[in-house]
Each structure stands twice: as structure tokens, then as C-alpha cells.
Chains A and B, each alone.
Chain A
Amino acid sequence: MPSNASPTPDTAANSAANTSAPVRRIARRPFWLRVLGTVNGAIGGAIVFVLILSAALAGWIAPYPPAKMAVGGRFGLPQAAHPLGTDEFGRDLFSRIVFGSRLTLTIGAIAVGISLIAGLAVGLTAAYRRGWVETVLMRSSDVLFSFTETLIALACVAVLGPSLQNAMIAVGIAGIPFYARTCHSAALVEVSKPYFEASVAAGAGHARLVFVHLLPNVFPTMVVVATLGVSSAILAAAGLSFLGLGAQPPDPEWGLMLSGAAHYLNRAPWLMVVPGLSIAVTVLGFNLLGDAIRSAMDPRRQG
């Protein structure tokens, strides 16, 4: 597209007339408004907001402690005292879901945090150092990439032993190759740009080049990847818990709740439907939000 089609044709022309005149500042809506102003962003943001609220205020929202059993009230149908019914130990399902959101968010944050930090380190190092360092780092991440994430996570748990904490670590490690690869390709683009070379030519040291120029320019891409990655991390961890390799009873972890409820599918289907839906809605929320962030960051779609 020729530059004339740009929505602000007067900017270039101004400069032709008088280069010292400032170009008109283009008023842009703030970033978060552009994210939440879209349908996807609004829905995703609302879901994530409710989730965070429920995790933060679980003690106030939930009517019962998550592990409180009641012998008389097993498999209770949804009713006034138990809005989502009770499970096989008479525990209040609503309270367990609310407390479970805490675990879900923690899992998402920690697993993605591990992937993100390690991925950034690997990707940036490879793109910055080039040469054999790049070859070794990126080829080994390719090798890991060729296994499915779940398989790597399973292997990690097998080594570390089953626990919620180890599941988070395992999911985080399994995600590293993807984050490293994305970061590597984003960083390669920046490294070849003139501003980076100008900084090299000015004599900038490693730390300045990486932390002042490279990292801030790669970070937006990685934020999008991470937001979208939260949902797959939650799914993967729920999967591990479902298989008994993640959270252990009586943790109110949604994947674990699914697994426990599977035995009573005929008798109390809501025990499976509710945590399943919770996972699905959470995943949907993070995906929508990540999508909206990506759109808002795309310079071609500013408005």
C-alpha cells in the first residue's frame, strides 16, 4: 500500500513544508481501553476479572470451607444451602469451585512464569549470541518441541513425583520450547533492525543491548504469547491432576474434582459438569483476552 493511503496524510506533508514543526500528535485511546473496548476483550476481561475476584475473596464468597464434609449430605442436589449441590463426601461444590479458582490461577501464573522466564532467557541468548550458542539452544528446543507438551510434563512429574507443585513445574518446563522459539524469532527481527545496529555501532555493551533495546521490544509479543499460554497451562495441569499426577485429595483442584466425579457420572452428573465448565470458561476467558491484546498491539489495527 502506498503511504498516501495512511490515515494521517498531513503528517508527512507538514514535514515537507517545515521540518522543525512538530507532527500533530495522534490522539490514541489508552492501551487497556483498546483491549477491553472490543467484544472479545470485554468478555475475556470480565471472565478473568471474576476469576481473580473469586480467588482473592474466596474466604468471603464461599459459604463453607472447601474440605468440610457432611456425612448426611452426600450427592446433594443444588439447593438453597448448596447452590451447586454437594459431592460424594457432602462437601459444598460451590465452595470447592471458588477455592479451586485460587489453585487454577496459581497454576496458570507459575507455570507460565517458568515458561516465560526460561523461554526469554533461551530465546534472547540465542538471538543475541548467534553462532554455535544459537545452534545448540534452538536445536535442543526443537528436539523438545517435537514431543507433545503433555508427554514432557508427564516425564517431569515421573521424575519429580506427583504433587500440585511439581505439576506446575512440569507444565512450565514443557512450555519452554514454544516460548523460546517465539522469543527467538521476535528477537531476530529486532537484532537486524537499524536501531539495534546503531546502538552496536555506538559501542553499547551486552547488558544495554539486551535489556534496553532487545527485551522491551520483544516483550509485547511475549505478553500475548503468555496470556494465550495461561489457558493451555491450566488445561495441561488439570489434565495431570485428572490423571492423579498433579493435585492430591482433598485439594479443590478442578481437574482432580473431574477425576473424582467421573465415578459418579450416572448418579450425580453435575459433579462433573460444574468443574468441567469452570475449566472451559476459564480457558475461553484467557484466550479471548489474549486475542484482544494481540489485536490491540497490532499497529495495523489501531483506531
Chain B
Amino acid sequence: MTAKPLLEVRDLRVGFRTGGAETPILHGLDFAVNPGEIFAIVGESGSGKSVTAMSLMGLLPRASARIDAGRALFEGEDLLHLPPERLRAIRGSRIGMIFQEPMTSLNPVLSIGRQMTEAPVAHGRASRRDAARLAVEMLERVGIPEPARRPRQFPHEFSGGMRQRVMIAMAMMMRPSLLIADEPTTALDVTVQAQILGLMRDLVRETGTSMILITHDMGVVAEMADRVMVMRHGRIVEAADTASLFARPTQPYTRDLLAAVPRIDGDTPAPGPARKTAPPVLRLDTITKSFGGARPALAAVSLQIAPGEILGLVGESGSGKSTLGRAAARLTEVDGGTVTLEGRDITRLRGSRLREVRAGVQMIFQDPYSSLDPRLRIGRTIAEPLAIHAGLRGRLARARTGELLAQVGLDPEMADRFPHEFSGGQRQRIAIARALAAKPRLIIADEPTSALDVSVQAQVLDLLGRLSVERELAFLFISHDLSVVRKMARRVAVMRAGRLLEIGPTAEVLGDPRHAYTRALIAAAPIPDPAQRDRLTRAAPPGEYPDGPLRQVGQDHWVAA
């Protein structure tokens, strides 16, 4: 790379004002993006990766943020010190942007065509008619079927993945020399993510556009980037070409980060001693549930969980996996089938008898910010099940709450604090402590680490695994992420569109998937290893999969025919 860099950032320093004081966020970044390369900025939350992108685009909140120093030379102009109207001319024409949320980054009341042609017409690059023709071309290029009739449609007529394709098409309309993509696939299902990543890579290659890819996901970096910059606390930890960074990370932080990433080709808990004799702690029999749509949310799903077992439940959005978990906890009423908890049919229990058995199943939710009552001290939140079921109050409850906090790795002294004083990982630990307080035999964990940074996720997963062993606590571990499930669960179930498609021992299901959909899921999961790049299947998976009754294909291994 001897060519002059397309973008050269020198000593970028940004601060945010809070109250009267100014907190520095970026402490002097130096980096360069070469023409035609994919440059990844990777980091955990609070690393400053998005602030970096926003300062380049002039999108920092003007009221609270200030660029203290630095230059960002892009095609001979300093982006940081351009007058706003000049920057606006560059933005959207020579620099394109793709954001995380495909659901909110398109204007819902304007047609796709109108939004796509807006920029070329506004920048005087094309007449309305030429722009419209270009729009159809771009839609076709990003793989949208029937591109000719799409410009008249509105965003709500597109799925999330399709919208992100439209966003990419829109960004490419102006043939920008630099694309800035901020977590472009984080909100998408894994099979869709694989397609979008492949599409972006092909586009960049073909058009010679450079791309800054901002992500938290080492797998995505490995699949996409030519060079990587790892950030932490507003500083560059290290920057290198992708292959050598993954092969020989020089900084301890990078090593830890890479080690914390669960891998779909990683280890899985060995199948434990067979516990066939023990009655299952949870049995779901032909559970059906409909929310009134065309297809049921759950169609005759059956499974069981042995005491102390972690069963992974995998599926994409809309698969019904969360509904199944809620049905098991009796948070959702089922239309048909039975929920049996420790040999007792709880499907139709009501009132106080339901409340009594509820202690046996507890839930851990995805969002650590809304899963604790913001107005209660966390000690009271954790003590709630104690008060309900054991009548424990006062000093006794306090002592027990302290024990629980210690068990999840928190300081018992923290019981008097409010949820807003804790980080996401800590809140999730508090939620776990609350679940434990009821002394359940089964915990439904619905994406318990999806909102957490990867290093925090590793700690929380370890905690859950340890608790399961120590207390012979069974888990229904719901996740969209096969790699996480592989790390946690001995047995895994795959769901799609309300049906169970495959269930069996994790090593077998992931090592020798017998269902086409399981294979598609595995093929789409990014692997944090640049050497395995180009493995992702780009082709859209077929819309139809066999989803008939389960047929046995191995010991404990069942597949829908």
C-alpha cells in the first residue's frame, strides 16, 4: 500500500461536556484508510469507536461534544474543520453512511424511490429520471428481487434484511469513495447477516470504494476487514492487517478479547453422566400457541430438560423460541399442550396455586436495563422471591441477599444501591441473583448475554455454567447465537417458524447437522478466523424447510422430516 491514503486522521481528540466538566472521550487517534480497503474499527461499548465515526461525519451532538484537536484529511480537505455546508456536500456524495437500525434509518412515509433519488438530485448529479433509472440498477445490484417495481414501495413493505440492502443501495447511489458502516448487521439475523456482509464485500471490491466498518464482533472483522484497529477507552490498542492481528495479537487486551469470543467450532461441554433415570425437570408436550396471525407462533413443540441439564434453544427472530420459554414459565398462556414441571402438570394452574409453583421456574431476560425495577434498591429486588416464598424479611433476608450477591460475584455491600448505578454486566448478575433467590430447579435464560460486551459475556456465561453444575440447576438457554450455545449447552434444539426442526447432543447437531436449516445457520455464523474467510454462504437460504414430525437419526438426535 504505497498509494496516498484516502483518509488520514491525525491526533483526533474529542471531549464530551457533562455538567460543567469536560470528559475526554478520544485521546489522540492516528490512523489512515487506504483506497479500496475495508478498515475495521473494533471495540467494546465505551471504546469510542462510534464517536470516531461521528466526528468524521460531523454528526457529533453539537451541544455536548467538542473536537479538541486533530485533523482528518479526506481527498485534500480537513473534515474536522470544514464549514457545515461544505461537509454536508461531502456527506452523502463522497462519503456514504450505513447505520445499524434498518427499521428506523429509512423514512417510513416516503417511497423507497423518492428516498434513493433524493441525494443525486439534491447534489445536482443527475436528473430525476436518470436518478430513478440508477436506483433500479442499484436495487438490482444489491440483490433485491423485482427491482423495477420497488421504487414505488414504502419501507414497511421490506423486511429488515431487505431494508439494509436498500440502505446500501442508497449509499452507493452516489458512488462514494468512502463508506462508513456503523454496526451494519448487528440488528439482523445471522443468515441475513451473512448475505449482507458478502454483498458489502463484493460491492467494495467491484467499485474500489473504501469502507470503515465499525463493529463489536470479531467474527465480522475476520470475515470482512483488510486491516483492523482495536480501540479501548478512546485509545488505539493496536492496529494491524487482519491476518496478523488474529494470528499474533501483540497486546494483552487484544488477546483477551479474541479469547473471549465464543466460537461455533469451539469446545462444547462433554456429555455428562447419563441421567436417564431421573424424571425431567421440565416437559413440554405438543405446545401450540397462536397470536392470531396466519401461522401459529408455536406448532406442537415438545421437549424435555433433565435436572441440571443446559438445553440450548436456537433460532432466528420470529422462530418462537422466546414464546416457548415464556410458555414454560407460564408467562404466556398456551392454546394447547401441557407444561409439566417436576412431574406436575402446571398448564392450567391459577391464582395462589400457580404462584406457589412459580418459584420452581425463574427467568433471566435479555435487556439488563429494563429487567430490574428502577425504583427499588437491588437488595429489595433480590429479596422479593425470599419475601414471597420463604416469608423472609429484615435481617435474615439481608443476610441471604448478601450471600446471593456474593455468589454472582458482586459485593454484598452493594445491596443498597439502585440499578442505574450498575453496568450492564453487573445488572445481569443481579438478575441472576434474583432468579437464584427463589431456589428454582430450572431457569429460562432468554438471550441473557446478547446485550453484553464479549468479555462480560464470557464472565456471565462462566457464572451460569458454574451455577448449573454446583446447584444441579437446569437451564433452557435461548439464544440466536450458535457459538454461545455451543459453549454452554450439552444438548441443543433448533427452531424455526414455531416448529422444532432438530434436537440432539450439541456436538452432534453442530458437527453433523442433519437438517438443512441447521446447516444454513452454521454456514452463516461468522468465525473469528481470517483464514476461514469466504466460507460464508451468500445465497439466500430457501424459504421452505422440511418441518414435519421429528424422526430419530441417532441416539437422542431427532430431525424434522
Contact = CB atoms under 8 A, between A and B. Distances in A.
Interface in B398-414: 409-411, 414
B244 interface: no
A203 B49 contact: no
Interface in B325-357: 329-331, 352, 354-356
Contacts, number: 161
Nearest to B429: A19
Interface stretch (A3-11, A134-142, A175-183): A3-11
Interface stretch (A48-56, A88-96, A208-216): A208-216
A20 B384 contact: no
Interface string A209-233: 0001100110000000000000000
Given A194-B366, A212-B384, 5 more contacts: A19-B429, A194-B363, A198-B431, A212-B373, A303-B18
Nearest to A24: B421
Interface of B: 16-19, 23, 25, 44-51, 54, 61, 64-65, 100, 182-183, 232-234, 329-331, 352, 354-356, 358-359, 361-363, 365-367, 370-376, 381, 384-385, 388-389, 409-411, 414, 417, 420-426, 429, 431, 434-435, 437-438, 453, 455-456, 459
B44 A13 contact: yes
Contact of B385 (A9, A20, A193, A203): A203
A201 interface: yes
Interface residues of A, number: 40
A199 interface: yes
A11 B375 contact: no
Contact of B423 (A11, A198, A201, A208): A11
B383 to A, nearest CB: 10
A12 B434 contact: no
Given A4-B48, A13-B47, A19-B429, A203 B438 contact: yes
A23 interface: yes
A300 to B, nearest CB: 11
B363 A197 contact: yes
A12 B459 contact: no
B423 A2 contact: no
Contacts of A194: 363, 365-367, 370-371
Interface of A: 2-16, 19-20, 22-23, 25-26, 193-205, 208, 212-213, 216-217, 303
Contact of A201 (B233, B363, B373): B363
A4 B47 contact: yes
- Chain A binding surface, main DSSP class: helix
Contacts of A2: 50, 100, 182-183
Contacts of A26: 420-421
A11 B47 CA distance: 11
B134 to A, nearest CB: 31
Contacts of B17: 7
Contact of B425 (A19, A202, A208): A19
A23 B422 contact: yes
Give the residue among A193, A203, A216 with the most B Cβ atoms within 10 A: A203
B46 A4 contact: yes
B426 A15 contact: yes
A200 B331 contact: yes
B256 to A, nearest CB: 10
A203 B388 contact: yes
Contacts of B385: 202-203
Contact of B51 (A4, A14, A201, A212): A4
Contacts of A212: 373, 376, 384
A201 B361 contact: yes
Contact of B45 (A4, A205, A217): A4
A202 B388 contact: yes
B23 A7 contact: yes
A3 to B, nearest CB: 5
Contact of B384 (A23, A193, A202): A202
Contacts of A197: 331, 363, 365
Given A15-B425, A202-B434, A8 B384 contact: no
Nearest to B385: A202
Given A4-B51, A7-B18, A19-B459, A198 B371 contact: yes
28 contacts: A2-B182, A4-B46, A4-B48, A5-B50, A8-B18, A9-B48, A12-B44, A13-B46, A14-B423, A15-B424, A15-B426, A16-B453, A19-B409, A22-B411, A23-B423, A25-B421, A26-B420, A195-B372, A198-B363, A198-B371, A201-B329, A202-B359, A202-B437, A204-B388, A212-B376, A213-B373, A217-B373, A217-B375
Contacts of A6: 46
Nearest to A28: B19
A199 B373 CA distance: 9
Contacts of B54: 5
B426 A198 contact: no
Contacts of B47: 4, 9, 13
Contacts of B50: 2-5
A12 B372 contact: no
